[in-house]
Amino acid sequence: MKKALSVLVSLILILCLCGFASAEGTPYRIGICQLVQHVALDAATQGFQAALKEKLGDGVVFDLQNASGDTNTCSTIMNGFVSNNVNLIMANATPALQAAVASTGDIPILGTSVTDYATALDISDWTGATGINVSGTSDLAPLDQQAAMLHELFPEARKVGLLYCSAEPNSKYQVDVIKGYLADLGCECTEFTFADSNDVASVAQNACDGSEVIYIPTDNTAASCTEAIRNVVEPAKVPVIAGEEGLCKGCGVATLSISYYDLGYATGAMAYEILAGGADIASMEIRFAPNVTKEYNKEMCDLLGITIPEDYTAIE
């Protein structure tokens, strides 16, 4: 009996050291669909994987796929995850989340890099949780503070161009909200929308022609086209306030940004609660980044002759 007990204890210790696994004794299988490759979304995916590897060790495997900015590809990827009966889906960005929801009502879905879940999922009576097989984290930095930042750096500016992709509901949501804050600060806002990456440069030129300052929200298409935007705004000497660090590093002068790695890590912690702790995803409230930071792009500020206050941090 003592020998049998000793063997049992040893087996338990081995399992603990090797990491948790699913009830079937195999690793949890997680499908990750990332809308497009750019710095912010890459960091969120990395943070998500790091959190789960830290907590589960070899007890988790990932099927990471990138949709290259194509919403139809998101749907194809999600259908593949459902066919493979993954234990959980991580949808990185709003179109990926929407594709996941359309593909399954049973498999737990966690979103990240999603600005507003009520808008993304068309939920009118929002309470903080979705009530379905979906939860996750939001990348929304306080829009009132972003408007205040724009006004702080450019107090004389009255014409603000709002540049974003019309196909991204998360971007439209941010623009609609920040317009009110900017109007309260005496700014006249004009929207400049592009349908996809093909017309980014021409629309950015129109924005430069009609604006003293441009604001770009956390827009995935814009984030993947920062070089094209910079090639327009830099010679036009029109500064860009960006919704996140990757955009700012590519074409902006300043941002009030979150850490997308930390956001992804928080999403991974939620996944662990669901997989290993049995948490009810339908009642899990959407979580937000704990901190925001004032950052600036030193190179662009020097080129445009913009002086930044001391409480801003230079983007590395």
Q: What is the pLDDT of residues 17-28, one digit of tens each?
A: 344 456 557 999
pLDDT per residue over 62-94, tens digit each?
999 999 999 999 999 999 999 999 999 999 999
Is it the case that residue 11 has pLDDT exceeding 90? Answer: no
- Tell me: do 190 and 56 sit in the same domain: no
> Is 90 exceeded by the pLDDT of residue 6?
no
Question: Strand order in 313-314's β-sheet?
Answer: 188-194, 159-165, 213-216, 240-242, 254-257, 293-296, 313-314
| Paired tokens of 259 | 């850490």
> Is 14 within the bounds of a domain?
no
User: Does residue 12 form part of some domain?
Assistant: no
The answer to whether the CB of 35 falls within 8 A of the CB of 95 is yes
Token pair recorded at residue 299: 């190179």
- Assigned domain for 276 exists: yes
Mean pLDDT of 211-220: 96
Residue 60 lies in a domain: yes
**What mean pLDDT comes out for the span 196-218?**
96
pLDDT of residue 7: 41
- Could you tell me which residues are beta bridge partners of residue 188? 159
Residues 308, 184 share a domain: yes
The pLDDT of residue 3: 44
Same domain as 310, residue 198 = yes
Residue 9 counted as domain residue = no
Tell me the per-residue pLDDT of 39-56, one tens digit each, with 9 for 90 and over: 899 999 999 999 999 999
Section 218-243 average pLDDT? 96
Pairing of strands 254-257, 293-296: antiparallel
148/125 same-domain check: no
Which of 7 and 37 is assigned the larger pLDDT? 37
Structure confidence at residue 141 (pLDDT): 87
pLDDT at 18: 41
Is the pLDDT assigned to residue 191 strictly greater than 70? Answer: yes
Mapping DSSP onto H, E and C, the string for the chain reads: CHHHHHHHHHHHHHHHHHCCCCCCCCCEEEEEEECCCCHHHHHHHHHHHHHHHHHHHHHEEEEEEECCCCHHHHHHHHHHHHHCCCCEEEEECHHHHHHHHHHCCCCCEEEEEECCHHHHHCCCCCCCCCCCCEEEEECCCCHHHHHHHHHHHCCCCCEEEEEEECCCHHHHHHHHHHHHHHHHCCCEEEEEEECCHHHHHHHHHHHHHCCCEEEECCCHHHHCCHHHHHHHHHHHCCCEEECCHHHHHHHCCEEEECCHHHHHHHHHHHHHHHHCCCCCHHHCCCEECCCCEEEECHHHHHHHCCCCCCCCEECC
Same domain, 34 and 105: yes
Query: How far is the C-alpha of 265 from the C-alpha of 43, rounded, in Å?
Result: 9
Predicted pLDDT of residue 8: 42
Amino acid at 115: T
The predicted structure's pLDDT at residue 136: 98
Percent of the chain predicted with pLDDT > 70: 92
- pLDDT tens digit sequence for 240-262: 999 999 999 999 999 998 899 99
* Claim to verify: residue 200 and residue 280 sit in the same structural domain: no
> Can you give the pLDDT at residue 22?
60
CATH number of the domain bearing residue 152: 3.40.50.2300
184/236 same-domain check: yes
Question: Span 170-190, mean pLDDT?
Answer: 96
Token digits of residue 168? 């991204």
Whether residue 114 lies inside any domain: the answer is yes
Question: Average pLDDT for residues 183-204, to the nearest whole number?
Answer: 96
Percent of the chain whose pLDDT exceeds 90: 87
pLDDT at 24: 56
Contact 101, 123 (CB under 8 A): no
State the total domains in the chain.
2
Strand partners, 271: none
Query: Terminus-to-terminus CA distance in the chain, angstroms?
Result: 62
Q: Residue 268's domain spans which residues?
A: 23-139+260-285
Residues 277, 250: one domain? Answer: no
Is 60 exceeded by the pLDDT of residue 115?
yes
Are residues 45 and 83 both part of a single domain?
Answer: yes
pLDDT-derived band of residue 38, with 50, 70 and 90 as boundaries? Answer: confident
Residue 122 zone, left/alpha/beta (φ > 0; ψ -120 to 50; rest): left
pLDDT band for position 13 (50/70/90)?
Answer: very low
User: What's the chain's Rg over C-alpha atoms?
Assistant: 22
If asked whether residues 197 and 89 sit together in one domain, one would say no
pTM of the model: 0.80
For 281-299, how does the pLDDT look when each residue is reduced to its tens digit (9 = 90+)?
Answer: 999 999 998 789 999 999 9
Rounded mean pLDDT, 143-167 = 97
Under 8 Å between Cβ of 73 and 100: no
Q: Are residues 161 and 103 part of one domain?
A: no
The 10 Å CB-count burial string (b at 16+, else e) for 213-235 is bbbbbbbbbbbbbbebbbebbbe
* 110, part of any domain: yes
Rounded mean pLDDT of 111-128? 94
Q: Judge whether 8 lies within some domain.
A: no
Q: 278 and 242, same structural domain?
A: no
How much is the average pLDDT of 216-228? Answer: 95
